[in-house]
Amino acid sequence: MRLAARITGVGAYLPDRILTNADFERMVETDDAWIVERTGIRERHIAAGHETTSTMGAEAARRALVTAGIEATDLDLIVTGTCTPDGLFPAAATLIQHQIGATHAGTFDVNAACTGFLSAFSVATNFIAAGQAERALVVGAETLSRIVDWTDRGTCVLFGDGAGAVVVERAPEGERGGVDAMVLRADGAQAPLLYSQGPCSADALSHEAKIIMDGRNVFRHAVTAMADASSEALRRAGLTADDLALAVPHQANLRIITAVADRLGMPMERVFVNVDRTGNTSSATIPIALAEAVAGGRLAAGDRVLLTAFGGGLTWGALVLEWAGVRVPAAVRMPTGALVASPSA
């Protein structure tokens, strides 16, 4: 069943500090050529000491509200996809609610690792379709630099920090925009392939929160899972890859993205890629990419868009949307795509 909930605003925030591959050459046994060839990543943004998932999420949210042309007080729901909230509680969404002044919104976080944004978006669109909310903010935000093992060259070069946000509103009958199909899946038996323990884990005193990953096996699962979920979402929507104006996949590794596109028969011209500049920001990759796609004029009203993600859990999923069109006011239509630039830029 089509959900009458559509994206009306997008925004993103990337912290100022950039770590390049050359910086990693000074930290671990690696080199720029290996990182670029195996991952496509050239640089990633790293949060400043005072920044957190909620502060970055709030900044992305402010931009999304501007593009939607609504106030924070118009929101009745905020859902944040994150696996690196500021603390165990309150939820990052609750801290974002306070920072943006969304005084009429209910709040909670969704943790599905890198599938967090798709999961949070699915919750919000279902709230709207069920008549339980009118205007929702969905944030994907992560401060992965705080749980990266900076001595593990197999993982530390992959991740970055950042936040993206979308405003979702009811699509009036007969108007453009909506969710054509959504597929969410998980296989908790594969948890040992990619996880981070925390203060509530068994024997917690012996565990530090850090990302542990079997990269090769995660890679294999990622390609099959995203391609299969995308095919199923397209089938349920009654569409084929040829009907898609743009695919916005989770940005973990350029090789994963090209392998998924290949399986779907999508030419790379219609696949959004920014992993070279952001690294893997987990739940934040898709909303950051959406904000960049809008800023770059790559989405038009009526376009069909595929979103697909994969992450720890293992979790994965895919959504097919009809794009409603996001108006970018002149105030935020600045050089270098100010929808995503940091406030100081």
Residue nearest to ligand UT7 (CB): 215
The single residue listed with the structure tokens 């699509």 is 171
Q: Give the separation between CA 79 and CA 139, rounded to whole angstroms.
A: 6
Hey, what are 98's tokens? 């306070």
- Opening angle at CA 181, ends 175 and 184, nearest 5: 140
Pick 50 or 216: Cβ nearer ligand UT7: 216
Phi, psi of 279 (to 5 degrees): 65, -165
| 39 near ligand UT7 (CB under 6 A) | yes
| 215 near ligand UT7 (CB under 6 A) | yes
Q: Give the separation between CA 51 and CA 43, rounded to whole angstroms.
A: 19
Query: Active site includes 280?
Result: yes
Size of the site for ligand UT7 (CB under 6 A): 21
Answer for which of 11, 164, 279, 311 binds ligand UT7 (CB under 6 A) is 311
Pick 10 or 259: Cβ nearer ligand UT7: 259
Kindly list the strands in the beta sheet with 315-322, ordered across the sheet, starting from the edge strand earlier in the chain. 178-186, 315-322, 304-311, 246-249
Q: Minimum distance from CB of 171 to ligand UT7 (Å)?
A: 30
- The residue type at 178: G
Query: Which residue(s) pair with 319 in the sheet?
Result: 182, 307
| 34 near ligand UT7 (CB under 6 A) | yes
| 185 near ligand UT7 (CB under 6 A) | no
| 252 near ligand UT7 (CB under 6 A) | yes
Query: Active site includes 250?
Result: yes
| 316 near ligand UT7 (CB under 6 A) | no
CA distances 5 to 21, 120, 172, 183, Å, are: 40, 13, 9, 16
Q: Confirm if 218 and 168 have CB atoms less than 8 A apart.
A: no
Instruction: Provide the 3-class DSSP secondary structure of residue 104.
Output: coil
Q: How many CB atoms lie within 10 A of CB 300?
A: 10
Query: Which residue(s) pair with 308 in the sheet?
Result: 249, 318
Q: Minimum distance from CB of 166 to ligand UT7 (Å)?
A: 20
Answer for which of 310, 323, 337, 341 binds ligand UT7 (CB under 6 A) is 310
Intra-chain end-to-end CA distance of the chain, in Å: 43
| 115 near ligand UT7 (CB under 6 A) | no
CA distances 258 to 129, 252, 264, 271, 330, Å, are: 33, 11, 10, 9, 34
Q: Minimum distance from CB of 113 to ligand UT7 (Å)?
A: 7
Region near ligand UT7 per CB under 6 A, out of 34-42, 161-169, 258-266, 289-297: 34-42
Answer for which of 12, 96, 123, 218 binds ligand UT7 (CB under 6 A) is 218
Catalytic residue of the set 45, 83, 111, 114: 114
| 286 near ligand UT7 (CB under 6 A) | no
Which residues lie below 8 Å from residue 38, measured CB to CB, with a gap of 6+?
253, 255
| 261 near ligand UT7 (CB under 6 A) | no
Answer for which of 3, 96, 165, 222 binds ligand UT7 (CB under 6 A) is 222
Answer for which of 50, 173, 216, 331 binds ligand UT7 (CB under 6 A) is 216
* Residues catalogued as catalytic: 114, 250, 280
What residues line the site for ligand UT7 (CB under 6 A)? 30, 34-35, 38-39, 114, 153-154, 157, 194, 215-216, 218-219, 222, 252-253, 256, 280, 310-311
